[in-house]
Structure 1
Amino acid sequence: MMSEDQNRTLTRVGKGTPMGELLRRYWYPVAAEVELEQKWTKRVRLLGEDLVLYRDRSGNLGLIAEKCPHRGASMVYGIPETDGIRCAYHGWYFDATGQCIEQPNEPETSTFKERIRISGYRVEKLGGLIFAYLGPDPAPLLPRYDAFAVDRAIRVVGQAILPVNFLQVMENSLDPVHTEWLHGHYHEFIQRELGGDVRVAFSRHHIKTAFDVFEHGIVKRRLLEGQSEDSDDWRIGHPVVFPYMLAVGSGGLGTYAMQMRIPMDDTHTWHVWYNAYVPGEHVEIPQSLQKLCLYDVPWRDAEGEFITDYIDGQDIAMWVTQGTIADRTTEHLGTTDKGIILLRKLYMEQIQRVQKGLDPLGVIRDPSLNGFIKLPLERKKHHFSEGFESVTMRFQTRFCPIAKDLINFFEKTSVAQ
């Protein structure tokens, strides 16, 4: 059980708050590159700030405050220029740093523009995504985690905006036992109600769990009934990448999977499922699968009820029904919640590091440590032992418009281990 002050500290993500200042020390995805191929701007909400991502006529990207400081019009309707963007309302022109560099209707001798600046943030591209850094200088390096940096990958990215604080989504990742019930027994119950008789690997009983802090976050491990301690699930596990990502093993497939829980504000999270499928070294990737596929993941049906016949939909139902910000003052944690307790402790410790002027966990500044960051990841994950098609169709990837093409492709080709 937590106090109201503790809960507030861990869930408020705006500028100037303890958690908000911690989170601003990291890079976040704000869009997929394909989103700016056919348009010039995209509205972005990140860490409580309303921003506009834009592409200028030189092909450079910028991320600035949405409101023009002149009369408050939205820059999402701005006019792209050679090295910046111009407000459509009166033509004020801003560069990527947020500095106003031209005010067409002011006197030529005026220095007014030099005193006008809005927020402007760094952006970089990696793995088909556009990342942004909203923190203080000097900026750390954008981490080249394996899922994003791997070459020759088929990349599919699902997304959903959820009306919840990011913390309760992250806590789910430090709760291994929920898979046994929510994705195991509950999933079997749902399938029986639909007329099937399904038994899934997720329903296996947890004998023990363990959590180890490492340089990029927390590695979680589990030992399931019938497994030996030589199994990948116990020997290796998979990591929660601090402060907002989860990497997941692939059950032997050449797959890198990341779940990213991007805090839009205190009560909304942009959830991104990022999958990079890597075929064998000499396997040619069809042209139809070479471009990143971005798609929306539905989680309510036409009647407004949660869609719970797939794994990620089950998670979403649990996160959303806790409320926009979970009330942790009324909870009763048990022995299986030690991972959640560890995560909260880690956030508090890293908040204190930032307050002391130190870099928090996982921040990278040495280029020699950022070539290709291979995360600890089980490759023979028991939960995903039922084959590529089963895994694809039981998760949010079933909504991917190229899901069937993926299945057919991997049925015909070898997959890198």
Structure 2
Amino acid sequence: MTTGQNETLTRVGPGTPMGELLRRYWFPVAAEVELERKWTKRVRLLGEDLVLYRDRSGNLGLIAEKCPHRGVSLVYGIPEDEGIRCPYHGWCFNHTGQCTDQPNEPQQSTFKQRIRMSGYPVQKLGGLIFAYLGPEPAPLLPRYDAFVAENAIRVVGQAVLPVNFLQIMENSLDPEHTEWLHGHYHEFIHNELGDEVQVAFSRHHVKTAFDVFEYGIIKRRLLEGQSEDSDDWRIGHPVVFPYILAVGSGGLGTYAFQMRVPIDDTHTWHVWYNAYIPGEGVEIPESLQKLCLYEVPWRHPDGEFITDYIDGQDIMTWVTQGAIADRSDEHLGTTDKGIILLRKLYAEQINKVRQGIDPLGVIRDPAKNTIINLPLERKKHHFSEGFESVTMRFQTRHCPVAKDLIDLFANPGVLNGQ
């Protein structure tokens, strides 16, 4: 790639080619539980500084953070019945960004009608709050299976990473890295710690394949010793355009999404979204009835990366590439065909937006949005070592209710009726 091509695919701010593409999609900006005990949350998305707020009627709004009067942050605003009021001089704004009250201006003044700032629609789904920053009319918020699954136990890990979202997404189109990073390197790290392990991830890749479909790219792999009837090859799992990786559960009764939300050019809010589905009639403990939101640590106190678990290994590779990877200095091989396909797909969809055409995966037909069941392998080889092993090898080991999950799913009949 040239430096110019790299710029096109990595700059996400307003008016940039990638920024305009990404603004055609809904992005998570918070978990619902974050606004249960407070009124506001500072949000930075696609290079814009915003404030998410809950008014006294229970409605949500997402508007520019800075008051247009004197630039004070509305994160410290006063919630009203309809909107939020600046704490500095009392100017009030509704969810569209329109100023509705200026208490110290003359009563007959029309000044407030001329004051408006950015305001964006928000919706709740699956325990998360999503926002749309693009042109109207907004498309439908996709009802992917993990978000709408009923009677689900939902746990959500999060981390702000100092990297551009693209190098995280490219990792998802690189199946072979699992063989080395999560296989041989994982074994090496644990052996150095005195824990002799051998993991399913280290199995050799015989071949990989990538297919563009309605919502993104499906990636498939055939591992040494597998037949082409295996779920890993026959079904695979998708990278949902433009920012989600959906991973098969290996029969573990769970949906797993990784969402790479671009904060700006050099920062990404990484969200690990897991929805666990117990078998019918299983009583869910009180500790698991509410969405659990937690931080995923990725550095030791001395600044070194935490690499003894799968997601920490990924983070190390993303961050050490630099804030924005220099793709003009790379040397791609035959195993990088998925990465090349992803870059071409972004470029194609950028051109669609320039032509005024909806890009890949944008949904406007309600009939197609009742529930979107994504193609996922159910017998995933990498997750063949049991629920507890998988839970403790991934970032879910940092979840405060991890032990409760393991205890619940250890009981016969709980594993989604299996």
Is TM (by shorter chain) over 0.5? yes
State how far apart, in whole Å, the 2-side matches of 1:368 and 1:24 are: 23
Q: Name the counterpart of 1:186.
A: 185
1:392 equivalent in alignment to 2:391: yes
Contact 2:55–2:79 (8 Å) recurs in 1: yes
Q: Deviations over 1:125-183 (max 9, x none)?
A: 00000000000000000000001011100000000000000000000000000000000
Q: Name the counterpart of 1:90.
A: 89
Corresponding residue SS for 1:239: strand
1:383 equivalent in alignment to 2:382: yes
State how far apart, in whole Å, the 2-side matches of 1:282 and 1:57 are: 37
State how far apart, in whole Å, the 1-side matches of 2:145 and 2:283 are: 21
State how far apart, in whole Å, the 2-side matches of 1:162 and 1:97 are: 30
1:113 equivalent in alignment to 2:138: no
Q: Deviations over 1:251-280 (max 9, x none)?
A: 111100000000000000000000000001
Q: Deviations over 1:70-102 (max 9, x none)?
A: 000000000000010000000000000000000
Q: Name the counterpart of 1:74.
A: 73
State how far apart, in whole Å, the 2-side matches of 1:232 and 1:362 are: 24
Q: Name the counterpart of 1:4.
A: 3
Identity across matched positions, percent: 82
The CA deviation at 1:119 is: 0.4
Q: Name the counterpart of 2:47.
A: 48
TM-score, length-scaled by structure 1: 0.99
Q: Deviations over 1:354-392 (max 9, x none)?
A: 000000000000000000100000000000000000000
Counterparts of 1:12-411 in structure 2, within 5 Å, are: 12-411=11-410
The CA deviation at 1:284 is: 1.6
State how far apart, in whole Å, the 1-side matches of 2:17 and 2:399 are: 37
State how far apart, in whole Å, the 1-side matches of 2:229 and 2:164 are: 37
The CA deviation at 1:414 is: 2.3
405-414 vs 349-358, greater mean Cα deviation: 405-414
Q: Which runs of 4+ in 1 moved over 2 A?
A: none
State how far apart, in whole Å, the 1-side matches of 2:414 and 2:225 are: 29
Name the amino acid aligned to 2:237.
H
Q: Name the counterpart of 2:415.
A: 415
Q: Deviations over 1:197-219 (max 9, x none)?
A: 10000000000000000000000
State how far apart, in whole Å, the 2-side matches of 1:396 and 1:222 are: 23
The CA deviation at 1:69 is: 0.1
Name the amino acid aligned to 1:322.
Q
State how far apart, in whole Å, the 2-side matches of 1:184 and 1:335 are: 20
The CA deviation at 1:291 is: 0.1
TM-score, length-scaled by structure 2: 0.99
State how far apart, in whole Å, the 2-side matches of 1:7 and 1:129 are: 31
Unaligned runs of 5+ in 1: none
Contact 2:42–2:51 (8 Å) recurs in 1: yes
Name the amino acid aligned to 2:311.
D
Task: Tell me the number of residue pairs that the alignment of Structure 1 and Structure 2 aligns.
Answer: 416
Name the amino acid aligned to 2:24.
R
Q: Deviations over 1:222-247 (max 9, x none)?
A: 00000000000000000000000000
State how far apart, in whole Å, the 1-side matches of 2:146 and 2:318 are: 25
Q: Deviations over 1:307-363 (max 9, x none)?
A: 000000000000000000000000000000000000000000000000000000000
Corresponding residue SS for 1:38: coil
The CA deviation at 1:282 is: 1.4
Contact 2:408–2:414 (8 Å) recurs in 1: no
State how far apart, in whole Å, the 1-side matches of 2:327 and 2:87 are: 46
Q: Deviations over 1:4-45 (max 9, x none)?
A: 100000000000000000000000000000000000000000
Corresponding residue SS for 1:329: helix
Name the amino acid aligned to 1:188.
E
State how far apart, in whole Å, the 2-side matches of 1:201 and 1:93 are: 57
Corresponding residue SS for 2:207: strand
Contact 2:250–2:384 (8 Å) recurs in 1: yes
Contact 2:159–2:269 (8 Å) recurs in 1: yes
Corresponding residue SS for 2:339: helix
What is the CA RMSD across the aligned residues, in angstroms?
0.5
State how far apart, in whole Å, the 2-side matches of 1:414 and 1:97 are: 45
Name the amino acid aligned to 1:231.
S
State how far apart, in whole Å, the 2-side matches of 1:181 and 1:170 are: 18
Corresponding residue SS for 2:312: helix
